[in-house]
Homo-oligomer: A and B are copies of this chain.
Amino acid sequence: MDALENVIIEGDCVDVMNRLPESSVDLIFADPPYNLQLGGDLTRPDNSEVDGVKDDWDQFDSFDSYDLFTHEWLAACRRVLKDTGAIWVIGSYHNIFRVGAILQDAGFWIMNDVIWRKTNPMPNFKGTRFQNAHETLIWATKHPNQKPYTFNYDALKAFNDDLQMRSDWTIPICTGQERLKKPDGKKVHPTQKPEGLLHRVLLATSKPGDMILDPFSGTGTTAAVSKALGRRFIGIEQDASYARYSRERLSRVEPYDDADLKTVTGKKAEPRVPFGALVESGYLRPGDRLFSASRRHEARVRIDGSLTNGDTVGSIHRLGAFVQRAPSCNGWTFWHFEDRNGLMPIDMLRRKFRTQMGLG
């Protein structure tokens, strides 16, 4: 099974994952069933109070088997996941606490829990509980303190009107044209996830070309959004009917233009330019004076790209920190050079250097 990609595979997810090469997947999105062994409709979300007696004796037994099931598919996920990879799991209060605890026990490291806040949830008709208006997602890396992992911070900030993205996401449930229907008009799947949710997940924690795996593929929302966003994917689905519907759905997905897949990136992604290179290339000359924005501090450029204020010598960062008595300082934004129009941060020169050298 090499170079298998962009398919929906029919079968048990543990079996199928164990036949995939290890450390081959960048990101897993898993929407596991809630009610394995719990007696069908009785424990479907929001109906858990229907039966009086059965749940009582069933409870321990069913939690145990659910835990075992969870442990097994998470172990299979862990094997196929790259050491730089991550996993998302979505669930409700019926199962998410067990899944989250087992995830932690398996060695995954939770980065955030994220709340999918539904704009248009089903009402609780009986008025016996709060309206169940959200689901919980867990985002976890394969290892504690894992470096690197993918998080497109700046893209999400642009998405969110220039504010950093929060852990609660307001997204509509899947309805209308997007919802897959059978010829008789009934919905194909009871819990089809909205493409908007997967769009945000993939935008946040994957890159174009990444391999995305969904072990409980269902109607193929993960696969469909992966295809649209220029990611590779493997979906695994046990149910032949769901698999058939999702393949048909995928055939209708048009990938977006490569140019539109690009996202906002921040300074962290830019190539490093040592300050000395600006001096070397004549953007600044030894002896030039630099100033803090307020002109309160002044320093002279030296031939090796260090600065001196007379008493002390150091890098742009060290001297900036020193004169401010701060533990650290970004010299690029702290120091300014004299321009026709007044003081300009030396970061301007760095940008000019990058552009003229064809960097970034």
Task: Indicate if A2 sits at the interface (CB-CB under 8 A).
Answer: no
Q: In the bound complex, do residue B112 and residue A159 qualify as a contact, i.e. CB atoms below 8 Å apart? A: no
Q: In the bound complex, do residue A98 and residue B104 qualify as a contact, i.e. CB atoms below 8 Å apart? A: yes
- The distance from the CB of A348 to the nearest CB of chain B, in whole angstroms, is 16
A134-158 interface code vs B (CB 8 A; 1 in, 0 out): 1010110000110000011111111
Task: Indicate if A217 sits at the interface (CB-CB under 8 A).
Answer: no
Q: In the bound complex, do residue A160 and residue B112 qualify as a contact, i.e. CB atoms below 8 Å apart? A: no
A99 contacts which chain B residues (CB < 8 A)?
97
- The distance from the CB of A337 to the nearest CB of chain B, in whole angstroms, is 15
Give complex CA distance A43, B326 in Å: 12
Within 8 Å by CB of A127, from B100, B164, B203, lies: B164
Give complex CA distance A114, B129 in Å: 11
Q: In the bound complex, do residue B132 and residue A167 qualify as a contact, i.e. CB atoms below 8 Å apart? A: yes
Query: Quick one: which of A95-112 are within 8 Å of B by CB?
Result: 96-101, 103-105, 107, 109-112
Query: Quick one: which of A189-240 are within 8 Å of B by CB?
Result: 194-196, 199-200, 203-204, 229
- The distance from the CB of A8 to the nearest CB of chain B, in whole angstroms, is 22
- The distance from the CB of A135 to the nearest CB of chain B, in whole angstroms, is 10
- The distance from the CB of A101 to the nearest CB of chain B, in whole angstroms, is 4
Give complex CA distance A230, B136 in Å: 34
Task: Indicate if A68 sits at the interface (CB-CB under 8 A).
Answer: no
User: Which of the 9-residue segments A22-30, A180-188, A245-253, A279-287 touches chain B?
Assistant: A279-287
A114-132 interface code vs B (CB 8 A; 1 in, 0 out): 1101011101100111111
Q: In the bound complex, do residue A272 and residue B358 qualify as a contact, i.e. CB atoms below 8 Å apart? A: no
Within 8 Å by CB of A281, from B92, B93, B196, lies: B196
Give complex CA distance A99, B130 in Å: 21
Task: Indicate if A262 sits at the interface (CB-CB under 8 A).
Answer: yes
A159 contacts which chain B residues (CB < 8 A)?
274-277, 279, 304-306, 315
Give complex CA distance A274, B92 in Å: 25
Q: In the bound complex, do residue A130 and residue B165 qualify as a contact, i.e. CB atoms below 8 Å apart? A: yes
Q: In the bound complex, do residue A130 and residue B112 qualify as a contact, i.e. CB atoms below 8 Å apart? A: yes
Task: Indicate if A317 sits at the interface (CB-CB under 8 A).
Answer: yes
A94 contacts which chain B residues (CB < 8 A)?
110
A117 contacts which chain B residues (CB < 8 A)?
115, 117, 168, 271
Q: In the bound complex, do residue B120 and residue A358 qualify as a contact, i.e. CB atoms below 8 Å apart? A: yes
Give complex CA distance A107, B59 in Å: 8
- The distance from the CB of A319 to the nearest CB of chain B, in whole angstroms, is 10
Task: Indicate if A328 sits at the interface (CB-CB under 8 A).
Answer: yes
Task: Indicate if A34 sits at the interface (CB-CB under 8 A).
Answer: no
Give complex CA distance A264, B60 in Å: 39
A256 contacts which chain B residues (CB < 8 A)?
285-287, 303
Q: In the bound complex, do residue A304 and residue B115 qualify as a contact, i.e. CB atoms below 8 Å apart? A: no
- Nearest 9 pairs of A and B residues by beta carbon: A97-B100, A159-B276, A119-B357, A260-B286, A155-B304, A199-B280, A133-B166, A93-B113, A263-B304
With A93-B100, A119-B358, A262-B313 given, name 17 new contacts (CB 8 A): A52-B145, A94-B110, A96-B113, A98-B104, A115-B117, A117-B168, A119-B359, A127-B154, A133-B167, A158-B318, A159-B304, A161-B316, A168-B271, A170-B270, A170-B277, A171-B281, A195-B282
A-B contacts, 30 of them at CB < 8 A, read: A43-B327, A47-B327, A55-B144, A96-B100, A96-B113, A97-B100, A97-B138, A98-B101, A101-B101, A111-B129, A111-B130, A115-B134, A120-B358, A129-B151, A130-B139, A131-B166, A155-B304, A158-B306, A159-B276, A160-B276, A161-B272, A163-B274, A168-B168, A170-B273, A170-B277, A196-B281, A229-B303, A259-B308, A260-B287, A261-B286
